Amino acid sequence: MTAPRRIALVIVLGAAALAAGSFFFAYRKPNTDPTPTEADLRPEAGMPWFVDVTRDAGVDFVHFDPTTDAHFIQETMGSGIGWIDYDADGWPDLFCIQDAPIRSSGNLTSNRLYRNNRDGTFTDVTEKAGLVRTGFGQGCAVGDFDNDGFDDLVVTYMGGLALYRNNGNGTFTDVTAASRLTNPHWGTSCAWGDIDGDGRLDLYVCNYVEVDIDHYPLCERDKKLFVCPPTSFPHARHRLFRNNGDGTFTDVTAPSGIADAPPAPGLGVVAADLDGDGRLDLYVANDLKAQYLFHNQGNGRFVEKGLLSGAGLGATGQPVSGMGVEAFDADGTGRPSLFVTNFYNQPNVLFRNRGSMRFWEGATETGLAGRRDRLGFGTVVIDANLDGRPDLAVANGHLHRDAEEVYRAPYAQRAQLFVGTGPGSYRDASDRTGPYFREPRVGRGLAWADFDNDGKPDLVFSHVGGPPALLHNRTETTNNWLGLELVGDGTRSNRNAIGARIEVRTTSGTQVRFVNGGGSYLSANERRQLIGLGTGNSARVTVRWPSGREQVYQDVPGHRWWRITEGAGQPTPLPIAGR
């Protein structure tokens, strides 16, 4: 090894040790939040405002809390949550993922699927849909892997995964064995994306650490058991599965180059075209290890460029405790930047895309670094007030039930909403966006959907040991909006159009959106695109499809949902227009 490489290795290992130490021994001041004023507790015109409607909507799911006195690392993860329009009626349905006891087989409850009744309420259809399953559930991803027009569902578990094919009649069939999908590791987040350009969705699965309960490491502080950091365990390689087009998949982790990266504890993944070359790249949020950036070389081959690109480590060269991840145009450049949530006392991270697969960290200068007295998990990009600028929501909650004693930090923490104020400019407006954002929760998963089709993005958070929070967007605004459902041709482009680039031009300016695979933490957003138009009434929409075909649609009217089909002449108005 050359001298420069030795020096670089020492720097990286030293930073990793420092980060691991902060995970284990940090001591912080107590959290202090401002006391709400009367004005904070009512909607303000133009500002995002969300109302928790979980109970009224009939969503009665409760997450099982697997906490034990042993303080296993598995107890800290929570479960994700997702949206899937399983019956293709244009109304997003809700899927909740369940945990299980770590050592016993008793008190098992299933994941749950709630059908959207189109009136603001939901009905549990888990059994009817064929989705009853127990186990230590983690994450999910939604995608039409067989291009039949109905979205399918994959769920990760500790020690396995499950693939459910949508039968198109309101039911699913477990085709895991028949599809040859196997992952005997601790799977977390996963993402669908066509990595080889054949028009079919392939699957990337993050794996966390290898845990042997019978030979579990002992981590203590002041003679008290403590949750061990991920650096205390062996790491497993992540998996990439190629879609063979006949209902089966082939593990291409090695030939694709994914296996060339050193194993790392993966928690979040997003599939996005980061350099605009028409090929999907993969960005992975790893926990206390350098982040992965797998650059797509074509023909299903990747080269890992996390460190080389500048998107592998935090602003000061330390590993990021990456949980949730999103890729979006954060600064008006038309290029996807990368946002990653981080550990307590560490800022969120924003890798701004400079082009040519080069990034620099700019969370502080943009206002997205956030408060250090939060521990971030799920994250989503929405335009909550439809002003044409992206906003970010973040789910927060500590890992350690004894966080108050050990870290002087609350276990339950408040979620955050960062409101876009201009290109590359954001402010934390959580105190003025509704009661939920003032109520401490142990947040984990987060996903968005316009579940009532009123043209405003809604949110759903998952929590450890409690019910989810379904937040209805009741922002008072006169801003307009445009809803787009993109449908690829199913041959050169996948039907979900993952990998498409959308440019929307109005009198208020130009926005660029990306149809990504994956994102957030263990969760799945709805596939449609909901775009705030500000004061604009219509838009010029340019779509570059995954196939490379580009189509332009002039003067698409706002305030309704449209279906844009690859190769078709004009968008088709959907009957679920905003009310």
Distance CA 145, CA 133 (A): 21
Query: pLDDT grade, residue 573 (50/70/90)?
Result: very high
State residue 40's pLDDT score.
56
Find the Cα–Cα–Cα–Cα dihedral 270, 553, 384, 390, rounded to 10°. 50
Number of domains forming the structure of the chain:
2
Let me know if residue 133 belongs to a domain: yes
Q: What is the pLDDT of residue 34?
A: 57
- pLDDT beyond 50 at 194: yes
Angstrom distance (rounded) from CA 257 to CA 168: 35
Among candidate residues 579, 571, 470, the one with its CA nearest the CA of residue 528: 571
Structure confidence at residue 574 (pLDDT): 93
pLDDT tens-digit map of 279-333:
999 999 999 999 999 999 999 999 999 999 999 999 889 999 999 999 999 999 9
407 and 490 within one domain: no
Domain that holds residue 421: 43-473
Least-confidence region, from 26-40, 48-62, 233-247: 26-40
105-118 burial, b if ≥16 CB within 10 A, otherwise e?
eeeeebbbbbbbee
Q: Confidence class of residue 405 from pLDDT cuts 50, 70 and 90?
A: confident
Quick check: is 22 in a domain?
A: no
For residues 181 and 303, state if they share a domain. Answer: yes
pLDDT digits (tens, 9 = 90+) for 21-36: 444 434 344 445 655 5
559 lies in the same domain as 455: no
Contacts of 63 (CB under 8 A, 6+ apart): 78, 79, 96, 98, 99, 462, 463, 464, 465, 466, 467, 468
Domain assignment present for residue 11? The answer is no
Q: Which two tokens stand for residue 209?
A: 């650490």
Query: Does 69 map to a domain?
Result: yes
pTM passes above 0.95: no
Q: 310 and 459 share a domain?
A: yes
Residue 406 lies in a domain: yes
Instruction: Report d(CA 99, CA 75) in Å as an integer.
Output: 9
Specify the pLDDT at position 21.
Answer: 42
> In three state form, how does the secondary structure of 1-66 look?
CCHHHHHHHHHHHHHHHHHHHHHHHCCCCCCCCCCCCCHHHCCCCCCCCEEECCCCCCCCCCCCCC
Coil, strand or helix at 129: helix
The percent of residues above 90 in pLDDT, for the chain, comes to: 84
Do 410 and 552 belong to one domain?
no
Q: Is the domain of 468 the same as that of 487?
A: no
For residue 476, pLDDT beyond 70: yes
pLDDT for residue 191 is more than 50: yes
Residue 443, token pair as written in the block = 């947040």
The enclosing domain of 525 has a CATH number of 2.60.40
Q: Kindly state whether residues 416 and 497 are assigned to the same domain.
A: no
Which residue, 442, 473, 504, sits at the end of a domain?
Answer: 473
pLDDT range class, residue 408, cuts 50, 70, 90: confident
- Domain contains 28: no
Any domain includes 14: no
Tell me: do 469 and 486 sit in the same domain: no
